[in-house]
Chains A and B, each alone.
Chain A
Amino acid sequence: EPEVTQTPSHQVTQMGQEVILRCVPISNHLYFYWYRQILGQKVEFLVSFYNNEISEKSEIFDDQFSVERPDGSNFTLKIRSTKLEDSAMYFCASSDDLVGDEQYFGPGTRLTVT
C-alpha cells in the first residue's frame, strides 16, 4: 500500500537555525500539505500546495516558513530561523485531486528547538 514518507524522524536544532523537513508524498497524489502538532495539542493546518504553488495557508504559516517541490518526488518545509515555539511534530500529508477527498499522513518529523 502506498504511503507518505518523511525524513528525518527527529531533528534537534538550536534556536535561530534553519531546518528543512522532507516528505515524499504518495506518487499519484497532486495535493500536498503540512500540519503540525505541538505536544498535547490538536493537529493544526499550516499550508497546502498544488501545481507548484501554495493554494492555502494558515496564520501560523508566516514569512519564517516556506515550502518547495524541488523535484518530482520530494516536498519540503523550511523554517528559516527556528524559535522555541516551533518545537512540534510536523506531519506531511497528500491527497488526490478530488475535492473533499481523503488526506493521508506521513509518520511525522519531531522537531525539537533548544
Chain B
Amino acid sequence: RKEVEQDPGPFNVPEGATVAFNCTYSNSASQSFFWYRQDCRKEPKLLMSVYSSGNEDGRFTAQLNRASQYISLLIRDSKLSDSATYLCVVNGNTGRRALTFGSGTRLQVQP
C-alpha cells in the first residue's frame, strides 16, 4: 500500500464549481497533515495544515479523519488560478519531521 495515496485526476471543472479531493495515508502514527499546491515545475507551496477539528481558510476547507486515515480538501467557487496539482502531505511518527508526499491530484479550472 502506498504511504500517501491520491487520485491523480485530472479534475476538469468550470469556474465557480466546488471540487473535493481525498487522500488516504498508511502510517497511523502520522502526526501532522498538510495540503500543498504545486504549479508545473515549481516548488510545493503550503496551502494549509489539516487539524482533527477541521479547518477553513477562505474558499478552502480541510478535514482529517484519523480513524479512517483519510484527509480531504474542498475548494469552493473555483478560480482559474486554482489550476495546479494538490499534494497531500503527512509527516511520520512522533518527533519525526520528514514529510511524505502523495503523487498529487491535478486540477484544471476552465473558463
Contacts and interface: CB of A to CB of B under 8 A. Distances in A.
Interface of A: 31, 33, 35, 41-45, 48, 55-56, 58, 89, 91, 95, 99-108
Interface stretch (B15-23, B37-45, B53-61): B37-45
Given A42-B104, A100-B32, A56 B98 contact: yes
Contacts of A42: 87, 101-104
B87 A43 contact: yes
Contact of A58 (B45, B46, B98): B98
Given A33-B97, A89-B41, A91-B43, 9 more contacts: A31-B97, A33-B98, A42-B87, A42-B101, A56-B96, A58-B98, A95-B97, A104-B46, A107-B43
Interface residues of B, number: 24
Contacts of B104: 42
Contact of A56 (B32, B97, B103): B97
Minimum-distance CB pairs A-B, first 6: A100-B32, A105-B43, A45-B98, A43-B101, A42-B103, A42-B101
B97 A43 contact: no
